[in-house]
Amino acid sequence: MRTIYVLLLLLNVSFASAQNYFATVFNGVSNYQGDLQDKLFTLARTKPAWGIGFNYELNDRMLLTMDFVNGNIAGDDKFSVKNRSRNLSFQSNITEFSLGFEYVLFDLYDYKVSPYFFANLGVFRFSPYVLASNGAKIFLSEYDTEGQGFYNNRKKYKLTQFCLPVGMGMQWALSNNVRVAVLFGIRKTFTDYLDDVSKTYVDKNLLLQNRGQKAVDLAYRGNQLPNGLPYPADGAIRGNPKNKDAYYFTGVSLRFRLKTPSRIEQTHFKIHKSSTACPVNPL
């Protein structure tokens, strides 16, 4: 009898572990906060975003996550009252891969809806650019607009960086195998150059000598405006280096179990979900 019980227990565990994997798809929008976007969140300049991922269910409320997300960010001084005369702008694609942890507040096998929270460690790729008159992309990092590599020991910024994605949302259980969520996740970064703006202006002649006229034209575009001011003096404030840039994704995700239990498996699956402790023999 004890042998039969052990076999049933092992069968139960094998069924449960085979069904602990979920796949997710995400659709939403992305944006950023930095020197060309002083608001933390705005719908005015959001761009489309999408993603895919996989989850491993440790238990009813805790999951390990693996996510890939792709989106776009943009900023433009024409939307700013404070920095409109600077006339800078940029766009960038963001691709991110992250591993992390998710916690669901209420057990979605018992409840239909629950808040949830996540914290990840990620790596992302970006490259700020502007569009030329013919539509070609001009990648700003190639022109060292703040003197990276030749001015005041400023180093070139890396286009691949670490980030810390954290966020929250609401998750609905459409069934034991399908869940839908509305979420918001912000990424703390360790760079101030998502928008190619951080510190001060470099002397115009020094920038011209080291990187050419195109770099000068990209570093300051206020003189392109009607009655615009000339190129600022060396050391004039261009951005705020005290605050690192951030970006975020918000939208809807759909999650579905990779293996749907058969009728026989569902019985073992329900047993596993309802009790994780070994039964105690009566005295």
Res. 93: pLDDT tops 60: yes
User: Which residues are paired to 95 by β-bridges?
Assistant: 70, 125
Burial class (CB in 10 A: 0-12, 13-18, 19+), 171: buried
Instruction: State the pLDDT at residue 40.
Output: 76
**What's the pTM value of the predicted model, to 2 decimals?**
0.84
* Same structural domain, 238 and 106: yes
Phi and psi, residue 38, nearest 5°: -80, -20
Measured between alpha carbons, how far is residue 64 from residues 23, 119, 248 in Å?
Answer: 12, 10, 21
Domain CATH number, residue 225: 2.40.160.20
* Same structural domain, 36 and 139: yes
* Same structural domain, 251 and 121: yes
* Same structural domain, 28 and 147: yes
* Same structural domain, 252 and 271: no
* Same structural domain, 106 and 227: yes
**Domain residues for 134?**
23-258
d(CA 122, CA 160): 11
Task: Say how many domains are in the chain.
Answer: 2
pLDDT digits (tens, 9 = 90+) for 44-61: 789 999 999 999 999 999
* Same structural domain, 211 and 280: no
Q: pLDDT averaged over the chain?
A: 88
Measured between alpha carbons, how far is residue 160 from residues 116, 122, 183, 196, 272 in Å?
Answer: 29, 11, 25, 14, 43
* Same structural domain, 114 and 189: yes
* Same structural domain, 236 and 125: yes
* Same structural domain, 139 and 276: no
d(CA 97, CA 58): 21
Average pLDDT of span 71-77: 95
Task: Answer whether 173's CB lies under 8 Å from 179's CB.
Answer: yes
Task: Answer whether 72's CB lies under 8 Å from 49's CB.
Answer: yes
Please compute Rg for the chain using Cα positions: 26
Res. 275: pLDDT tops 70: no
* Same structural domain, 212 and 265: no
Instruction: State the pLDDT at residue 41.
Output: 79
Average pLDDT of span 29-40: 90
* Same structural domain, 167 and 205: yes
What is the CA 28 to chain-centroid distance, rounded?
A: 11
pLDDT digits (tens, 9 = 90+) for 169-228: 999 999 999 999 999 999 999 999 999 999 999 999 999 999 999 999 999 999 999 998
